[in-house]
Structure 1
Amino acid sequence: MVLLLLVLCILAAPFAGGTASAASPAPSHIDAVLLIDVSNSMNKSDKNNIAGEAMKMFIDMLSAQGDKVGIVAYTDKVQREKALLQIGSAADKQDLKDFIDGLDRGAYTDIAVGMEEAVKVLENGSDPGHEPMIVMLADGNNDLNEATGRTQSQSDQELDAAVETAKQKGYPVYTIGLNADGKLNKEILAGLSNKTSGKAFTTDSADDLPQILSEIFADHLKLKVVPVQSITANGSYQEVTVNVPNSSVLEANISIMSAKPVTAKLTDPSGKEAAIPSNDVLLSKSSTYSLIKLLSPEQGDWKLQVKGVPKDKIDINLVFNYDLELKLDALQSKTYKKGDTVEISSHLYSNGAKVTLSNLYQDMKAVLLATDTDTGKVQELPMDNTGAVFKGSFEIAESHNYELKVRAEESSFYRESDVLTINAKTGAVATSTSKPAGAGGTEPAQDKSSSKTLYYIIGGIVLVLAAAVVLWLLRQKSNRGFVGQMVVEVLDGNTGEKTYPQYKKLAAFRGKFTLHQLLQLAPELKESEKLVFTPGKNDRLMLRGSEEISVERSGRVVDTARGLELKSGDRISVALQTVDKTILLEYLI
Structure 2
Amino acid sequence: MIRMTALFRYILCLWLLLGLVTSGGTTGFAQAGTDKMDAVLVVDVSNSMSESDKNGVSLEAMKMFVDMTSAQGNKIGVVAYTDKIEREKALVNVNSEQDKKDIKAFIDSLQKGAYTDIAVGVGEAVKILEDGHDQAHSPIIVLLADGNNYLNKASSRTQQKSDQELVAAVKTAKDKGYPIYTIGLNADGKLNRAPLQQISAETGGAFFETSTADSLPQILSEIFAKHAKVKVVPVQNFTSNGQFQEVPISIPNGSVLEANISITSGKAVELKLFDPAGGELTIPSNDILLSRSRTYSLLKLVQPAQGEWKLQVKGADRDKINVNLIFNYDVGLEMEPLPSKTYKAGDVIPIKAALSTNGQPVSPELYKKMKAKLIVQDMSSKQTSEIDLTNTGSGFEGSYTIPAASRYEIKVRAEETSFYRETKPVTVDASQGGGKATSPQPPASSHTEESSPFPWTAVIVGAVGLILVAAGAIYLLSAWKKANKGFTGQVAIEIVDEDTGEKSSPQYKKLSAFKGKVKLHQLLQLAPEFQETEKVVFLPGKNDTLLIENRSGCRIEKAGRVLDASKGKELKKNDRIKISLTSVNKSVYVDYIV
Q: TM-score, normalised by structure 2?
A: 0.69
Answer yes or no: is 1:317 the counterpart of 2:324: yes
Deviation at 1:150, TM superposition (A): 1.1
Which of 361, 367, 378 is matched with 1:361 structurally?
Answer: 367
- How many percent of aligned residue pairs carry the same amino acid? 56
DSSP-derived class of the 1:158 partner: helix
Q: Is the 8 A contact 2:225 2:232 kept in 1?
A: yes
Answer yes or no: is 1:156 the counterpart of 2:163: yes
Which of 408, 417, 420 is matched with 2:423 structurally?
Answer: 417
DSSP-derived class of the 1:429 partner: coil
The separation in 2 between residues aligned to 1:36 and 1:223, in whole angstroms, is 25
**Partner amino acid for 2:404?**
E
Answer yes or no: is 1:267 the counterpart of 2:274: yes
DSSP-derived class of the 2:284 partner: coil
Answer yes or no: is 1:81 the counterpart of 2:73: no
Deviates more, 1:378-387 or 1:95-104: 378-387
Over residues 488-536 of structure 1, what are the superposed CA-to-partner deviations in whole Å (9 max), with x where a residue is unaligned? xxxxxxxxxxxxxxxxxxxxxxxxxxxxxxxxxxxxxxxxxxxxxxxxx
Map 1:444-523; keep pairs closer than 5 Å. Answer: 454=446
Who is 1:499 aligned against? none
**Partner amino acid for 1:305?**
Q
Deviation at 1:294, TM superposition (A): 0.7
Who is 2:413 aligned against? 407
The structure-2 alpha-carbon separation of the partners of 1:208 and 1:21, relative to structure 1 and needing over 3 Å to count, comes to: farther
The structure-2 alpha-carbon separation of the partners of 1:19 and 1:346, relative to structure 1 and needing over 3 Å to count, comes to: farther
Who is 1:300 aligned against? 307
Deviation at 1:180, TM superposition (A): 2.4
The separation in 2 between residues aligned to 1:328 and 1:451, in whole angstroms, is 26
**Partner amino acid for 1:145?**
N
Who is 1:40 aligned against? 47
Deviation at 1:390, TM superposition (A): 0.5
**Partner amino acid for 1:384?**
T
**Partner amino acid for 1:295?**
V
Answer yes or no: is 1:127 the counterpart of 2:131: no
Deviation at 1:102, TM superposition (A): 1.4
DSSP-derived class of the 1:119 partner: helix
Over residues 94-135 of structure 1, what are the superposed CA-to-partner deviations in whole Å (9 max), with x where a residue is unaligned? 111111121122111111111111100000001101111111
Q: Is the 8 A contact 2:53 2:213 kept in 1?
A: no
Q: Is the 8 A contact 1:359 1:388 kept in 2?
A: no
Q: Is the 8 A contact 1:371 1:402 kept in 2?
A: yes
**Partner amino acid for 2:89?**
K
Who is 1:346 aligned against? 353
Which of 250, 253, 263 is matched with 2:260 structurally?
Answer: 253
Answer yes or no: is 1:395 the counterpart of 2:401: yes
DSSP-derived class of the 1:180 partner: coil
The separation in 1 between residues aligned to 2:140 and 2:240, in whole angstroms, is 37
Deviation at 1:453, TM superposition (A): 5.6
Who is 1:209 aligned against? 216
Who is 1:557 aligned against? none
**Partner amino acid for 2:365?**
N
Who is 2:147 aligned against? 140
The separation in 1 between residues aligned to 2:382 and 2:68, in whole angstroms, is 39
Who is 2:198 aligned against? 191
Q: Is the 8 A contact 1:227 1:318 kept in 2?
A: yes
Over residues 208-247 of structure 1, what are the superposed CA-to-partner deviations in whole Å (9 max), with x where a residue is unaligned? 1332012101211111111111011111111111111111
Which of 365, 378, 385 is matched with 1:379 structurally?
Answer: 385
Deviation at 1:303, TM superposition (A): 0.5
The structure-2 alpha-carbon separation of the partners of 1:125 and 1:24, relative to structure 1 and needing over 3 Å to count, comes to: farther
Q: Is the 8 A contact 2:339 2:437 kept in 1?
A: no
Deviation at 1:182, TM superposition (A): 2.0
Over residues 305-329 of structure 1, what are the superposed CA-to-partner deviations in whole Å (9 max), with x where a residue is unaligned? 1111111111111111111111111
**Partner amino acid for 2:396?**
F
Over residues 172-194 of structure 1, what are the superposed CA-to-partner deviations in whole Å (9 max), with x where a residue is unaligned? 11112222222221222122111
Q: Is the 8 A contact 1:38 1:73 kept in 2?
A: yes
Q: Is the 8 A contact 2:377 2:383 kept in 1?
A: yes
The separation in 1 between residues aligned to 2:344 and 2:197, in whole angstroms, is 43
Who is 1:233 aligned against? 240
Over residues 350-374 of structure 1, what are the superposed CA-to-partner deviations in whole Å (9 max), with x where a residue is unaligned? 123232x223223200111233334
Over residues 550-575 of structure 1, what are the superposed CA-to-partner deviations in whole Å (9 max), with x where a residue is unaligned? xxxxxxxxxxxxxxxxxxxxxxxxxx
Q: Is the 8 A contact 1:262 1:307 kept in 2?
A: yes
**Partner amino acid for 2:100?**
K
DSSP-derived class of the 1:187 partner: helix
Over residues 431-473 of structure 1, what are the superposed CA-to-partner deviations in whole Å (9 max), with x where a residue is unaligned? 6xxxxxxxxxxxxx7x89x9986379xxxxxxxxxxxxxxxxx
**Partner amino acid for 2:392?**
T
Who is 1:569 aligned against? none
The structure-2 alpha-carbon separation of the partners of 1:190 and 1:13, relative to structure 1 and needing over 3 Å to count, comes to: closer
The structure-2 alpha-carbon separation of the partners of 1:50 and 1:325, relative to structure 1 and needing over 3 Å to count, comes to: same
Deviation at 1:382, TM superposition (A): 1.4
Who is 1:169 aligned against? 176
Q: Is the 8 A contact 1:207 1:257 kept in 2?
A: no
Deviation at 1:417, TM superposition (A): 1.1
Let me know the Cα RMSD of the aligned residues. 2.7
The separation in 2 between residues aligned to 1:373 and 1:65, in whole angstroms, is 39
**Partner amino acid for 1:382?**
D
Who is 2:114 aligned against? 107
**Partner amino acid for 2:422?**
E
Q: Is the 8 A contact 1:53 1:206 kept in 2?
A: no
Q: TM-score, normalised by structure 1?
A: 0.69
Task: Give the unaligned 5+ runs of structure 2.
Answer: 1-7, 449-594
**Partner amino acid for 1:329?**
E
Q: Is the 8 A contact 2:182 2:197 kept in 1?
A: yes
The separation in 2 between residues aligned to 1:455 and 1:117, in whole angstroms, is 63
Deviation at 1:376, TM superposition (A): 4.1
Task: Give the unaligned 5+ runs of structure 1.
Answer: 1-5, 432-444, 457-589
Who is 1:54 aligned against? 61
DSSP-derived class of the 2:436 partner: strand
The separation in 1 between residues aligned to 2:263 and 2:155, in whole angstroms, is 46
Answer yes or no: is 1:335 the counterpart of 2:342: yes
DSSP-derived class of the 2:39 partner: strand
